[in-house]
Chains A and B, each alone.
Chain A
């Protein structure tokens, strides 16, 4: 592990973080919601994700301040996002993310989303205030199986507890087909607490899967 450096993300990591978002969003499928729901190509979506990170809005999954990265030989090889929902009076992260998307993607894309919103609404999960929300977790393939996932999880919790010592719970929303990530979360003490499933088969044209899980870990208190 000593060859790895885990640190907070900085502006120069943003293009890499856009790749992390894209890889995580696809969740073992070829469907990226930033393209399928907004009628954009993957190249356009990546550019827009970069723009959203550059706005530096804190408190959601598209906030630079939410991310830590791992460096190996001077290059980022993993990215993980986490934030405390509604911390320090922040708006709900869903609204912050929606504002970013509305502003960045523009009217035509939002108009396109309007025609698809009914298909995806059943797997939308609101986030619980003052819990640590884990979203986007990606390690490059060649660095898997080296204990990095556990080190990153520990670091994420440590950072959050330093910010908010009364933190009680970590939550993660994850598509059910992300079997590898689910296994990592279970190994790290998470439990599946709820499932959100859509019966609309069209969802497979837009999202990685038709079922999303809410996973949760209760933090130990002394």
Chain B
């Protein structure tokens, strides 16, 4: 799966989980900038990403996520390894 398809699928997840059809993903987007990104929706987002891409994150990997770029990089890495 190429990066643009990952981004497209991730955008759909973000729009659903964070209940905002206007969300546009960019590399430096962080939780602080998304109105509904809280502890509850974070859990739901991680769950949806794992389900959509058939991957399982390690705790250490989750702890290093800083922004959308790092999430897309990690998804790509896990899908290609």
Chain A interface residues toward B at CB < 8 A? 55, 57, 91-92, 94-103, 107, 110-111, 113-114, 117, 120-121, 124, 126
The 7 A-B pairs of least Cβ separation, nearest first, read A94-B39, A110-B47, A99-B62, A98-B42, A98-B43, A102-B46, A103-B59
Q: What are 15 pairs between A and B in contact, CB < 8 Å?
A: A55-B59, A57-B59, A94-B39, A94-B42, A99-B59, A99-B63, A102-B62, A103-B59, A111-B47, A111-B51, A113-B47, A114-B47, A117-B40, A117-B41, A124-B39
- Name which of B47, B57, B62 has the most chain A CB atoms within 10 A of its CB: B47
Within 8 Å CB of B47, what residues of A? 102, 107, 110-111, 113-114
Interface 1/0s, chain B 25-43, versus A by CB < 8 A? 0000001000000111111
B77 within 8 A of A: no
Interface of A is mostly: helix
The complex places the Cα of A179 from the Cα of B51 at a distance, in Å, of 41
The smallest C-beta distance from A222 to any residue of chain B, in angstroms, reads: 33
The complex places the Cα of A103 from the Cα of B59 at a distance, in Å, of 6
The smallest C-beta distance from B48 to any residue of chain A, in angstroms, reads: 8
- The reply to whether A102 and B57 form a contact with Cβ atoms under 8 Å apart is yes
**Complex interface residues of chain B between 42 and 81 (CB less than 8 A to chain A):** 42-44, 46-47, 50-51, 57-59, 62-63
Contact pick for B44, options A91, A96, A100, A114, CB 8 Å = A114
Residue count of chain B within 8 Å CB distance of chain A = 17
The smallest C-beta distance from A66 to any residue of chain B, in angstroms, reads: 16
The complex places the Cα of A97 from the Cα of B44 at a distance, in Å, of 13
The smallest C-beta distance from A62 to any residue of chain B, in angstroms, reads: 12
Within 8 Å CB of A110, what residues of B? 43-44, 46-47
The complex places the Cα of A111 from the Cα of B17 at a distance, in Å, of 12
A113-B43 in contact given A95-B31, A107-B51 (Cβ < 8 Å): yes
- The reply to whether A124 and B38 form a contact with Cβ atoms under 8 Å apart is yes
The complex places the Cα of A76 from the Cα of B50 at a distance, in Å, of 39
A107-B38 in contact given A92-B31, A102-B43, A114-B44 (Cβ < 8 Å): no
- The reply to whether B46 and A98 form a contact with Cβ atoms under 8 Å apart is yes
Within 8 Å CB of B41, what residues of A? 117
The complex places the Cα of A92 from the Cα of B57 at a distance, in Å, of 19
- The reply to whether B40 and A120 form a contact with Cβ atoms under 8 Å apart is yes
